[in-house]
Amino acid sequence: MMYTVILLSWVIFGVIHSVTASVWLKQRFAARFSHLYTYYRLMYNGIALLTLPPILWLHRIAPVDYVSAWQGSFLTGSLVIGIGVVIAIIALRGYDLAEFIGWPVTSKQAGHPKLRQNGLLRYMRHPLYTGTILALAGIWIAQPTWSYLLLFLAATLYIRVSVYFEERKLIATFGTDYRVYRQHVPMLIPRLSRPSKE
């Protein structure tokens, strides 16, 4: 029963996020509340911040049912979590955090956006997502229960869907530049060879 509730919670979370990220809703919001539209991304992130913790809480209180006889490795899991967190922090440092959370820009700050390809973005297109997936994998390695397996799979699936829509927006914004970048740089897993300097 608990796992059904968890899966249903992820479905509801995904639907809410997909609807609030849709161009249709953004256009409707802009038409009806034009004076508030600059705060739309901030509100979008606020909704995520309010709706994700209850799901994580459900995973936390779920029964400790191990997937197999193996009961995990706290040391290995912690190491993988640490690597994921470090990658996510380095990735975040490459962004304008105010822009990332959706803090409205002033007319002086506004301008034509520039495609960033520095730092970890030379090796993978979505390092923040890579770090998140690694951290979630680490949680499962530390305690390989059905609950944490569901967390890892549901979050990874959601991230993959998010990447699809995010990249459509990036192509609309940057056009050929982003298409070329996408051809040369992997999505989530960096290549072992050195990145091209083209």
Check which CATH number belongs to the domain holding 15 and give it: 1.20.120
Q: Is the pLDDT of residue 93 over 50?
A: yes
Number of domains in the chain: 1
Out of 98-107, 142-151, 187-196, the most confident range is 142-151
Mean pLDDT for 144-160 is 95
Mean pLDDT for 57-82 is 95
Find the domain containing 25 and state its range: 2-184
Query: What pLDDT, on a 0 to 100 scale, did the predictor assign at position 62?
Result: 93
Confirm whether 97 is domain-assigned.
yes
Tokens read off for 140: 């499962």
| pLDDT, tens digit, 9 for 90 and up, residues 20-59 | 888 788 889 989 988 888 888 888 889 888 999 999 999 9
Q: Residue 40 to residues 17, 26, 197: CA-CA distances in angstroms?
A: 13, 8, 37
Confirm whether 196 is domain-assigned.
no
Confirm whether 192 is domain-assigned.
no
**145 in Cβ contact with 152 (< 8 Å):** no
Confirm whether 195 is domain-assigned.
no
